[in-house]
Structure 1
Amino acid sequence: MVSEILIKTGISFENYSEALNHIADELIAKGFVKESYRDAVFAREANFPTGIQLEEHSVAIPHCEAEHSIKPAIYFIRPDKTLVVNRADDDGTVDAEILMALVVTNPQQQLRLLRTLFGKLQDNSFVTQLLSIQESDLSEFLKQHFEI
């Protein structure tokens, strides 16, 4: 489903826009997305925000259309402080503790990955592990849960 997992923990961002720019910079530099990705992910967030309030935690899942992708990946970021992100389900905001940028190359794959991810995020123990597991163990943990 996904070819690679990128991980960054303890990174500082002033705001969510700075985080999205960082994500775009990294994914473009590593050849996962096209130059058009940056504008597409910002447009997607403006029209369809990706902040999600879970049972005890909040996450953001920035993504855009597959046409801006080159090869599939998940970019998992656990920033050093929460980021205010517009909610996907209403006009409010969440304080996202985790960002999971999804890069997929076909729309059906994107739907499957989103369904899998939403299912996992409903499990509070899974999210708690994402927040507490050491960076060196995160890649293996995510691979086990996302058929990589």
Structure 2
Amino acid sequence: MLKKELLFYKLAPDDYESLVRFLGGKMEELGYVKASYVPAVIEREKGFPTGLNMGDYGIAIPHTDREHVHQSVLAIATLAKPIQVHSMIDPSQVVEVSLVILMAVEDPDGQVKMLSKLMGLFQDVETLKQLELSNSSDEMYQILSKLELEVV
């Protein structure tokens, strides 16, 4: 699920939706998701936002149903400066997010498995710091490839 061509560092999006459109657009260009994927993610975020405050870090894990996915993949971006995303815990609150993991999972059981693996990443402050400081997609890939982010 981890593809070097879907790892982006120090992006500076105007807002959350434009970031989701950018990341999802790359997934679509590479054939991993259907044209319906990005609109479905954006619509899902309106009712079920995915911002998480993890202490020192804000993370978002936007995703949608598997019917919009051809092949399971993650698009991961670190941000030059945090953007606001509504909280998964309390949608009336916003979280300052500096890491976004756009998740496309085709396997019906895969979404829960992947979320579980990602929670391990979110609790690993040292790895999050390394990601935040990375200056290339190669560097990001080296850090993330140790985490076994495949859905088996």
User: Same-fold call, TM > 0.5?
Assistant: yes
Task: Provide the rounded CA distance (Å) in 2 between the counterparts of 1:30 and 1:60.
Answer: 22
Pair 3,131 (structure 1): closer, same or farther in 2 beyond 3 Å: closer
- Report the alpha carbon displacement of residue 80 of structure 1 after superposing the two structures with TM: 1.6
Matched position secondary structure for 2:146 = helix
Alpha-carbon distance in structure 2 between the residues aligned to 1:76 and 1:118: 15
1:92-125 alpha-carbon deviations (Å, 9 max, x no partner): 0011001111111112111100011012201222
1:3 Cα deviation after fit? 5.6
Aligned residues between the structures: 147
2:123 maps to what in 1? 122
Q: Is the 8 A contact 2:114 2:149 kept in 1?
A: no
Unaligned 5+ segments in structure 1 are none
Residues 56-109 of structure 1 deviation map (CA, whole Å, 9 limit, x = unaligned): 110111111111111111111112221110000002001100111111111211
- Residues 10-39 of structure 1 show CA distances to partners (whole Å, capped at 9, x for unaligned) of 222111111111122111111110011011
Q: Which residue of 1 aligns with 2:134?
A: 133
Name the CA distance, whole Å, in 1 between partners of 2:149 and 2:98. Answer: 24
- Counterpart CA distance in 2 for 1:139 and 1:50 is 23
User: Which TM-score applies when normalising by structure 1?
Assistant: 0.92
> Residues 8-47 of structure 1 correspond to what in structure 2 (within 5 A)?
8-47=8-47
Partner Cα distance (1:143, 1:114) in 2: 16
Aligned to 2:148: 146
Contact 1:55 1:124 in 2 (8 A): no
Q: CA RMSD in A?
A: 1.4
Who is 1:4 aligned against? Answer: 3
Give the aligned residue type for 1:82. P
How far does residue 132 in structure 1 lie from its aligned partner after superposition? 1.4
* Separation in structure 1 between the aligned mates of residue 3 and residue 27 of structure 2, nearest angstrom: 11
Q: Which of 135-144 and 112-121 deviates more?
A: 135-144
**Residue 49 of structure 2: aligned partner:** 49
1:99 aligned residue = 100
Structure 2: distance between partners of 1:68 and 1:146: 24
| Structure 2: runs of 5 or more not aligned | none
